[in-house]
Structure 1
Amino acid sequence: MAKIYGLQLLNSDNFPKGLNEIFKGNKSRLEQGLMSDVVGILRHYLQTHVQDCKKEPATNSSMTADDFRRVILNAVTPYSGALGDYIWPKVSQKETSNVRKDYPIAIYRYINGIERFAQVTFGKNEAKVNAFMLSEEPHVKDPFMGKKFDVIAKQDEPFVMKNGDKYEGFCVDVLTELSRSLKFDYEIFELEGSTINQNGKSTVWDDIITQLKVGNASMAIGAFAVTAQREAKISFSYTIISSAVSLLMKKPPDTTNYFQFLGPFSPLLWMMIVVFFLSVGLGLYFMARFDSTQEESEQKFDLKESMWYSLTILLQGSAEYSPQTTSMRTIIAFFWFCTLVINAAYTANLAAFLTLQQIDNRIKTVDSLARQSNVKYGILNNSDLMQFFRESRDDTYERMWTFMKLYEDISLLSTRKKGLDFVQNGVPTSSGKAEFIYLDDGVINNYNAQQNCELESIEENFGVKHFSIGFPKGAPYRSDINRALLQLKENGVLDRLRDKWWTSQKSNCTVKTSDAGSKTNTASELNISNMFGVFIFLIAFAVLAVLYEIGLIIFKFTQERKKKKKEESEIEEKTNGNSVQFGDTTYVDEN
């Protein structure tokens, strides 16, 4: 312990003004002066040895009391404080016995006033702490009233975005709700410029952490993920949103096939069935001409009836009559057997075809992504996700990291915008454009998928991150903000803000899309687009039948008119040939 010599009892010129009002007269001027001189000595030391207070102090810069005394003794001129000048003479080995022992130091707190709540007594080898019972917990009404915080931000959609001169985004909305709840003001600013370290990694967040540590900012917002390395330097609030890694990919083209019911058979097979139907109908017609029983039958197998009978059997309908000869019955029996096989095969293939239509065989997991090489994929260069792949010893992630290192020019992306462009337009390769999948935090990929209807984001179960608000270490307002965040969560405000920025309400898509990120494929009912072709056939043949009837009516009407005109002309000719004209009177020979 260094010896302190007071050259005069009290120097009023160096005594801080207003200190007596803070202590409300409960402390003597000597005690007040001693406390102010302790702070002043530390400030004097910092100003002498740290030229730029905006810079981060050296890591592990703590020192023992002897080291501190030695530095001040060798490098600092005596400090002039309220109790006079302070000097630190060297202490020899012989004088160590005179070092002060068993002395107490009181510990105070200030919450709307000074209150002593503990005392530390330093012995020869240990320190004893004696805590006092407080009369009551001091009540502070609106401790944030009138306070204004400088909030440093980094733009990341949709966490923080700048619209003109104003900031918006999920984190900005959370900060606004906190300011309303705790009644404080804030001003958002961004870090001007950023540096690149020797590994090529951007130090934006490192620079923001430095600004928090040196006191240039009270909070930090953005896509600020909590990591062990950052937790060692600054403090974080409770989690405001969590996210895992997701795959951002392009949706398959939405093609509508109204004739899916024709899918079970190939076009050639459909043609063969039509030929088969016509052949049987014509066979029945020609064989019926040599059937003697047809002469006495009321319904004869003419061409129309033969074709209708063949079609009825093919569609498994029922007929009012059947052929009588052995040859015709042989043809019909064989035709029945063939139609039975055709209908059974069509029914089975239709069920299988519609089931396969619902199965999504696209890449939707990192395991299937790692097992192929046709579809390219990539991540943001020098990101936390890149560090995860680089340091992971899991076989799947190691293979993916090897693949990305092999195609480093397209897999390690400089910006998220470039990855989004590759997903939308494909990535150029030697053989043309290839499909591309971008891996990033789910909250970012989900937002991009909502803004681009042709994209979808499929969340995986690894790389979970927790995003929070950053504070300087030991920030006294951190506990109050955490309490307010819990209240916002309990009241559903955080859920409402998530819905505002990560649901279709904020989407540019005007049509409802299916949930492509579903983990299971469940059978769904058929909709009208699957079977609309059947109704097209029905409408077409119904219209054809109506047109046929209309044409038949018109044909009969014209034939009757022609017949009538012909009869009238014949009567007129016959009448003109047997009549005699006498003046104005015509006489007809009725014989």
Structure 2
Amino acid sequence: MGRFGNWSEERGWKFNNEFANRWEFEIDSDAETLDGLKLRVVVLLEEPFVLRAENSIGYEGFCIDLLIEMSQILKFTFSIIEVSDGTYGIEDESGRWSGLIGVLQRHEADLSVSAVTITYSRAEVIDFTLPFMHLGISVLLAKSAEDEQKSGLFTFLEPLSFSVWISLVGSYLLVSCTMWLLAKFSPYEWYDVQQIDSRDRSIDEHKNQFNILNSLWFAVGSLMQQGSDVIPRAAATRIVAVVWWMYTLIMISSYTAQLAAFLTVERMTTPIESTADLVSQQKIKYGTLSNGSTMNFFRESKIPIYERMWSVMQSTTPTVFVNSSREGIARAKAGNYAYLMESSMLEYYMERDCQLQRIGGLLDSKGYGIALPKGSPLRDILSRTVLRLQERTILEALKNKWWKDKSG
């Protein structure tokens, strides 16, 4: 390894000519600003970190606001380069990287302020500042229609079909009207009632207890197994009553049996509440972003459950790996697919779509950092600036701005 420079109490680090020419600038270790340097910043489009916009910069997002805050503190200017292939990059057999990591590895940019996860394999070829955001891998799953209906007001109607409920209501009205008509034309349902008029004279009045209201009350009382104080007397009305009682007995028995089976099946349906639940079933497939840090986590993990998940993902056809987070979320919303993604992006999409939910806790712990070419003299001063922004709660304010304030 060659000598990068010399240290002195007066100037701090003084890089040698070869190293200084490589970076085209010199930075003292205790420098507070970058004295008007113009830096090349490579970005990758990823909502809400970097988005195209019609403004003077051409971009907006959490990372763009972070870059602006840092440029104001350190007094530097910048130009933005968008990575051409739209990927973070993968390593080939020769050790060269593609995508955003490759741009930094080839020194085609001075830094990257994007959602770049700090990983060991990346840190071997590029440098990172202290993380500006902490996160982990989470499981995203769309809420099913059954989940939305479980606590509905009319859940008690589900044991019987709509046509059965309609036939029940129709039968109730038909029996009530039949009882009323038969009682009206049957002499056995009429009786005399003596009443006293205003002159204290006794008057006989002919009445029928099965008027339309009493007929409806008799039918509903029988249906609810409560009985009624109205009793049929004629043979015709008694026959109708017996038929109605048999019908209601069958309907109530069927409803009770169906309700018990419905509730039992609902209890036996085990909801997915953790990664272990996800692995133990086969109906719901799961996958990650292709060639991303999440995919690499499962590929290199030595934890048995994650090794099993990686084996399942590799063997599943059609492929469970997606080319973008939007594609993964769309597959999850289509059903029977869980998308394994970084928690920061999951929180962002959950704020905007109530159909999405997070399952379980974080699978790991990591962070996003500002990426730089290996050995960059910018690393220390940018790390100190990240700490300053964190202590001033500016990073938290920026996250609230892009995650919550813009969710409407």
Identify the TM-score tier after normalising by the shorter chain.
Answer: 0.5 to 0.7
- The structural deviation recorded for 1:172 is 1.4
Equivalent pairs counted in the alignment come to 367
Listed as ranges, the gaps of 5+ residues in structure 2 are 15-29, 195-204
Aligned residue type for 1:405:
Q
Instruction: Give the structure 2 partner of residue 152 of structure 1.
Output: 41
Equivalent residue for 2:275, pick from 362, 366, 372:
366
1:300 is the counterpart of 2:208: yes
1:307 Cα offset (Å): 1.4
SS of residue in 2 equivalent to 1:238: coil
The SS at the match of 1:226 is coil
Q: Call closer, same or farther: CA 1:250–1:202 in 2, change over 3 Å.
A: farther
Task: Check if 1:207 corresponds to 2:116.
Answer: no
Please state whether the residue corresponding to 2:356 is helix, strand or coil: strand
Of 114, 123, 144, 1:222 maps to 114
**1:491-570, aligned counterparts within 5 Å?**
491-503=392-404, 505-507=405-407
Deviations 1:190-243 (A, max 9, x none): 56678862399953344244256xxx6543221221123444555433321122
Alignment partners' CA distance in 2, 1:219 and 1:232: 16
Q: What is the aligned partner in structure 2 of residue 170 from structure 1?
A: 62
Q: 2:93 aligns with which of 198, 219, 229?
A: 198
- The whole-number CA distance in structure 1 between the counterparts of 2:13 and 2:277 is 64
Bigger Cα Rg? 1
> How many Å separate the matches in 1 of 2:229 and 2:218?
12
The separation in 2 between residues aligned to 1:323 and 1:411, in whole angstroms, is 68
Residue in structure 2 matching 1:382, options 287, 291, 308? 291
- Once the two structures are TM-superposed, the CA of residue 355 in structure 1 deviates from its matched residue by 12
Matched, 1:489 2:390: yes
TM-score by length of 1: 0.48
Task: Confirm or deny: 8 A CA contact 1:248 1:439 kept in the other structure.
Answer: yes
SS in 2 for 1:401: helix
Q: Secondary structure at the match of 2:116?
A: coil
Considering Cα pairs closer than 8 Å and 6+ residues apart, tell me whether 1 or 2 has the greater RCO: 2
In structure 2, the partner of 1:310 is 218
Query: What's the offset of the Cα at 1:341?
Result: 11
Equivalent residue in structure 1 for 2:368, among 455, 461, 467: 467
Q: How far has the Cα of 1:176 moved from its partner?
A: 1.0
Aligned residues of 1:280 and 1:331 also touching (Cα < 8 A): no
Q: Offset of 1:467 from its aligned partner?
A: 0.3
Matched ranges for 1:334-373 at <5 A: 363=272, 365-373=274-282
Q: Aligned equivalents of 2:175 and 2:90: distance in 1?
A: 83
Contact 1:148 1:187 in 2 (8 A): no
Give the C-alpha shift of residue 494 in structure 1.
1.5
Structure 1: state its 5+ residue gaps: 1-60, 64-105, 115-139, 427-433, 511-591
Say which SS state the counterpart of residue 223 (structure 1) adopts. coil
RMSD after superposition: 5.3
Give the 3 Å change call, closer, same or farther, for CA 355–143 of structure 1 in structure 2.
Answer: farther
User: Could you list the per-position Cα deviations for residues 253-278 of structure 1 after superposition, in whole angstroms to 9, with x for gaps in the alignment?
Assistant: 69999965643544436635753675
The 3-state SS of whatever aligns with 1:390 is: helix
Residue 155 of structure 1: how far off its partner (Å):
0.7
Q: Percent identity?
A: 25
User: Is residue 153–residue 220 contact of structure 1 (8 Å, CA) maintained in 2?
Assistant: yes
CA distance in 2, matches of 1:418, 1:202: 24
Aligned-partner residue type, residue 164 of structure 2: L
Map of 1:442 onto structure 2: 343
1:342–1:457 Cα change, 3 Å? closer
Do the aligned partners of residues 364 and 209 (structure 1) sit closer, same or farther apart at CA in structure 2, a change above 3 Å counting?
Answer: farther
Q: Which residue of the partner structure matches residue 268 of structure 1?
A: 164
Could you say what secondary structure the match of 2:9 adopts? strand
User: CA 1:476–1:388 in structure 2 vs 1: closer, same or farther (change >3 Å)?
Assistant: closer
Corresponding letter in the other structure for 2:297: F
CA contact (8 A) 1:376 1:411 kept: yes
Residues 124-152 of structure 1 deviation map (CA, whole Å, 9 limit, x = unaligned): xxxxxxxxxxxxxxxx8x83163325143
3-state SS of 1:246 partner:
strand
Deviations 1:40-59 (A, max 9, x none): xxxxxxxxxxxxxxxxxxxx
- SS of 2:306's equivalent? helix
Residue 179 in structure 1 maps to residue 55 in structure 2: no
State the Cα distance separating 1:373 from its structure 2 match.
Answer: 3.3
User: C-alpha distance in 2, partners of 1:239/1:461?
Assistant: 17
In structure 1, the residue matched to 2:81 is 189
Shift in alpha-carbon separation, 1:360–1:161, aligned structure 2, 3 A: farther
**1:320-352 deviation line (CA, Å, top 9, x unaligned):** 974496999999899999989989998999999
Q: Which amino acid aligns with 2:191?
A: Q
Q: What SS does the aligned partner of 1:187 have?
A: strand
TM-score (norm 2): 0.65
Change in CA separation of 1:468 and 1:457 when aligned onto 2, cut-off 3 Å: farther
Three-state SS of the structure 2 residue aligned to 1:410 is coil
Whole-angstrom distance in 2 between the partners of 1:475 and 1:143: 16
**Kept after mapping to 2: 8 A contact 1:377/1:404:** yes
Partner of 1:463, secondary structure, is coil
> 2:137 is matched with which residue: 245, 248, 259?
245
Please report how far the alpha carbon of residue 156 of structure 1 lies from its aligned counterpart in structure 2 after TM superposition.
3.3
Q: Which residue of 2 aligns with 1:523?
A: none
Q: Say if 2:35 and 2:74, in contact at 8 Å, map to a contact too.
A: no
Q: Cα distance 1:324–1:435, how it changes in 2: closer, same or farther (>3 A)? A: closer
Is contact 2:140–2:338 with CA below 8 Å preserved after alignment? Answer: yes
Range that drifts further, 382-391 or 283-292 = 283-292
AA of the residue aligned to 1:372 = Q
Cα distance in 1, alignment partners of residues 68 and 343 from structure 2: 24
